[in-house]
Structure 1
Amino acid sequence: MGGLVSLFDLTESPVVRVLQGNYIQVGFAGAYLVRQGDWNRYVKIRGPTFEDIDWIVGLPLLFAAQGMVLPPILAAVGLPHPQPGTGMEELALETRPLLWPIAFTGMYLFAAPAEELVYRGLVQGRLRAAFDTLGVVILGGLLFGVMHFLVGLMTQGVSFGGSLYWGIDTVVPGLVWGYAYERTENLLVTVVTHAMAWTVALHEIVLYVLRI
C-alpha cells in the first residue's frame, strides 16, 4: 500500500487519510480480542443470507435519502460542513481512477472492517451485556456520532461547528448499522454498506438523475 501511495503521489488523498485513520482502531480491536479471547462474541461474520442481501441493497438507499435531507437542515441551523482537505470530503473516485485499486481494496478490506469491528463488534458486544436491543442500538449509534465529533475536534482545519455537523451526520448511520447488526448478527452487512458509503456517492447520483 505504501509503495502505491508513493508511486502515484497519493499522500494527500482523502482515501489515504481515511485508511491511515483506522490504524488505531485495528490496533485497539486486535489488542482487546487477544486479551479477552472471546472471538465468537465480538466477531460475528459469515456468508450473506437473503435477508443480509436485502440489507446490503436497502441501506445505501436509506443513506442516499439522508444525504439529500439532512445537510440542508444542518446548514439551516448554521452548522458548516466539515472543511475540504481534511479527509471528510467526497472521495471523488470518478475523477481519480488511480485511486480505484487503493480505495476499493483499502476501504472494503481494511478501513470499513476496522470501524465495524470496533463499533458493532466490540462496543455493541459489550452493551448487550447490560441493555436490551433498543438500548444497544441507541447507545451504540450515539457513541458512533460522539466519537466522530471528537475525531473532528482533533482534525486540523475542522471547526467546532464542522465537528458537530460530522457527529450529528454520523449518528443516523450509527443507529441504522447498529440495528442492522442486531437483526443479522453479521458484520459483513455493515462492513460492505459502510465501505459503500465511502466509495459510492449514491445520493449524488440520485440528485443528478432528478435534475435530468
Structure 2
Amino acid sequence: MSESPESEGVGTFGPALYRLTQAVAVVLAAFAGAVAVAGGGIGVLISGGIVEPETIGYHLALTVLQFVGFGVGIVGYVAITDDRELISYRLPTRFGWGLIGVGIVVLLIVQFVFGFVLSEFGLEAGENQVVLIGRENPQFFLYMILVSILVVGPVEELLFRGVVQGLLRRAVSAWPAIVLAAAFFGLVHVWAVQGTIGQQLVYAVVATVLGIVLGYLYERTGNIVVPGLAHGLYNAVLFAIQYVAVTRAFI
C-alpha cells in the first residue's frame, strides 16, 4: 500500500484515534446495512414463496443478503466521503497470484496448528453457525464454497482490510494497522459463533491471527483482490473438508 502515516510521529494518539473512530463507524454502518438488507430481504423472499424458513435456500439467501448489506455500508461510506482512493483493486499480477496461493497455504497451516494446540491443552473454539447448519444439511457446504469465493471473502476483505486497515494505515505504520484491523476482524466473529464466552474468545483469537495473514497480503500488494481471493478460497477449502468429513464421500 502506498498510503503513509499522516504525521511523521507514526503512532501518535490524535491521528490514530481519529482513524480508529472512522473505522468503528464504518464497521457499525456495515452491520446496520447487513441487518436492514437481510431482515427486509429475507422477509420478501419468504412472503413471495421463494424460500421457506430453515431450509438450505433460506440460509444461503440470508448469508448472501447479510454480505450485500455489508457492501451497502462500505459503498455508502465511500460515496459519502468521496474517498475513492481508500480501496485499491486491480487484476493480480503473477506475483499476486503467487501470494494468493502462499496465503491460502499459510492460512490453512495456521488453522490446523491452532486446532492441534487447542486439542493438546483440552481447549475448544466456538463453532460458526454456518458449520452447524452444514452438519445438519451437508449440501449447504457445497453451496457455501461458491458463496465464499464470490461473496464472503471479497466483502469481508473490502471491509476489514480495504476500509479498516486502509484508514488506520493513514495514521500508523503497517504492522499496527494490520494488527488492529485483524483484531476488529476477530472480534466481530464472536457474534457468529456458538459456545461459551471462553470458546467464543478462542475463536476470535484464531480469526485475529488469520486476519493478520490477510492484512499482510494487502499491505504487501496494495491490491484488495489478493486477500479477497485468498480468504474466499481458504474458506472454500475448509467447507470442502467439512463436507467430506460429514458425508465421508470418499470412503
Alignment length (residue pairs): 196
Amino acid at match of 1:96: Q
Partner of 2:70: 25
If the length of structure 2 is used for normalisation, what is the TM-score?
0.65
Partner of 2:212: 175
Partner of 1:148: 189
Q: 2:83 aligns with which of 19, 38, 44?
A: 38
Instruction: Describe the shift of the 1:70–1:18 C-alpha distance in structure 2 as closer, same or farther (beyond 3 A).
Output: farther
Partner of 1:187: 224
Q: 1:96 aligns with which of 116, 136, 139?
A: 139
Conserved? CA contact 2:174–2:219, under 8 Å? yes
For structure 1, the 5+ residue unaligned runs are none
Amino acid at match of 2:185: F
Query: Which has more radius of gyration?
Result: 2
Amino acid at match of 1:129: R
Conserved? CA contact 1:79–1:161, under 8 Å? no
Conserved? CA contact 1:67–1:203, under 8 Å? no
Residue 83 of structure 1 deviates from its aligned partner by: 3.8
Amino acid at match of 1:65: I
For 2:109 and 2:226, how far apart are their aligned partners in 1? 19
For 1:83 and 1:36, how far apart are their aligned partners in 2? 37
Conserved? CA contact 2:142–2:239, under 8 Å? no
Residue 76 of structure 1 deviates from its aligned partner by: 4.1
Instruction: Describe the shift of the 1:189–1:12 C-alpha distance in structure 2 as closer, same or farther (beyond 3 A).
Output: same
Amino acid at match of 2:130: G
3-state DSSP of counterpart to 2:85: helix
Residue 160 of structure 1 deviates from its aligned partner by: 1.0
Conserved? CA contact 1:145–1:167, under 8 Å? yes
Give % identity: 23
2:63 counterpart of 1:63:
no
Conserved? CA contact 1:141–1:171, under 8 Å? yes
For 1:88 and 1:71, how far apart are their aligned partners in 2? 15
Amino acid at match of 2:82: G
Conserved? CA contact 1:83–1:89, under 8 Å? yes
For 2:211 and 2:233, how far apart are their aligned partners in 1? 15
**Once the two structures are superposed, what CA deviation does each residue of 1:92-113 show, in whole Å capped at 9, x if it has no partner?**
7xx528944x641x32332222
Conserved? CA contact 1:138–1:175, under 8 Å? yes
Query: CA RMSD of the aligned region, Å?
Result: 3.3
Residue 135 of structure 1 deviates from its aligned partner by: 1.6
Amino acid at match of 1:135: P
Conserved? CA contact 1:68–1:203, under 8 Å? no
Amino acid at match of 2:103: L
If the length of structure 1 is used for normalisation, what is the TM-score?
0.76
For structure 2, the 5+ residue unaligned runs are 1-41, 246-251
